[in-house]
Structure 1
Amino acid sequence: MKDSDTADSKNSNPNSHALTSTFGQRAYLYTQTALYLGLCSGIGLGIYMMFRRYKTETNVPDRVVKSHRKLHGYMVNVSDGDTFRFYHVPLVRWPFTKPPQEKQRGVATNTILIRLSAVDAPEMAHFGNPEQPLAKEAKQHLYDQLTGRSVTVKPLAKDQYGRIVASVTYRSWMIAKKNAAHEMLKAGLATLYTGGNAQYDGEKEKLDRIQAEAKKAKRGVWKLKDFQPPAEYKRQHKKK
């Protein structure tokens, strides 16, 4: 038998065609199944994330911080001019849920501790250390900005205390969106934070300009004769 005849007989073998067809069908079926399962998993995760509420800063996953996924909710109370407690409200809110009251028991176990990014406000009295000038005014200014308003938190990092360092925005009378850190700098009730772990969210130049304008206008701390920046104050009292 000639070689060409042998090749023709192999190519015309119906069994080989059947095996090839079966393999192709299975590969197609497996691919479609994998895509379907992936789609279902994605939809399921999306629905889960829509309903999930982060109770405290320890519950906020690292992936949320690293992806800078925005969280929406309300300010519950203010610790000082750059720190407050935030009640997270998921995209789909469970019925009959509401933020705890400012002095309600259990606030710390139901809210996320937020540290404003990029700024440093005058220190309140704590651990036996005296209060810095305008510390109360800074605290009140942050409270006045956020109270009763829907707040958006953009996580940028977690600091050494476990707090969520974030860019914080809110709507002012449903017209313009404002940035809380910008407003603190404008009022001269905070200074630009320049530590090694500073988070500026790509706005360093803008923040520098805002601070320079407040300093030139002698607003807030910039009208004080012997103002000590909060960072310097903390270093001084840390040594004691």
Structure 2
Amino acid sequence: MLINGKAVRIRLFGVDAPEKGQPFGEKSRQYTADLCFGKTVRMEKKDKDQYGRIVAEIYLPDGTSLNHRLVAAGFAWHYTQFSKNPDMARAQQKARAERKGLWAEPQPMAPWNWRKQHRRTSQFHAQL
């Protein structure tokens, strides 16, 4: 996101999207870009993460939440460790029931599990 002409990395509140290299990672990234790129959006800051990134909800020009739209389209998981939003939970249930996006996979792996598995594999290869 550009804030006063400066590029700032934003962590989306309450969602976790597939990683690069993970199934639907690139599709999620493209969906996000299609909704946001070159547009003026509104950011509602919620917190800062352990890396100092802003954690926020992003509102698109039409007033809808990017965070919610990603989950509803099946391009991100509702990150219940940080968000208890019932609307987000319902959006994920609906996307899953309709097999949208990543829910079309037979056994989609949550990004937090994929990162753990990927770290272990990387550590194993580093030891060889």
Query: Given the two structures, how large is their TM-score scaled by the length of structure 2?
Result: 0.88
Q: What displacement does 1:148 show?
A: 2.4
Q: What displacement does 1:153 show?
A: 0.8
Question: Within the alignment, does 1:116 sit opposite 2:12 as a pair?
Answer: yes
Aligned residue runs from structure 1 range 1-240, under 5 A: 86-89=1-4, 99=5, 110-124=6-20, 131-172=21-62, 177-195=63-81, 198=82, 200=83, 204-239=85-120, 240=123
Q: Which amino acid aligns with 1:123?
A: E
SS in 1 for 2:59: strand
Report the identity percentage: 31
SS in 1 for 2:95: helix
Task: Tell me the distance in 2 between the aligned counterparts of 1:153 and 1:112.
Answer: 12
Task: Tell me the distance in 2 between the aligned counterparts of 1:237 and 1:224.
Answer: 19
Aligned structure 1 segments of 4 or more residues deviating by more than 6 angstroms: none
Aligned CA RMSD, in angstroms, stands at: 1.4
Q: What displacement does 1:134 show?
A: 1.0
SS in 2 for 1:149: coil
Count of residue correspondences:
121
SS in 1 for 2:33: helix
Gapped regions of structure 1 (runs ≥ 5): 1-85, 90-98, 100-109, 125-130
Task: Tell me the distance in 2 between the aligned counterparts of 1:148 and 1:230.
Answer: 27
Q: Which has the larger radius of gyration?
A: 1
SS in 1 for 2:68: helix
Greater relative contact order (CA < 8 Å, ≥ 6 in sequence): 2
Gapped regions of structure 2 (runs ≥ 5): 124-128
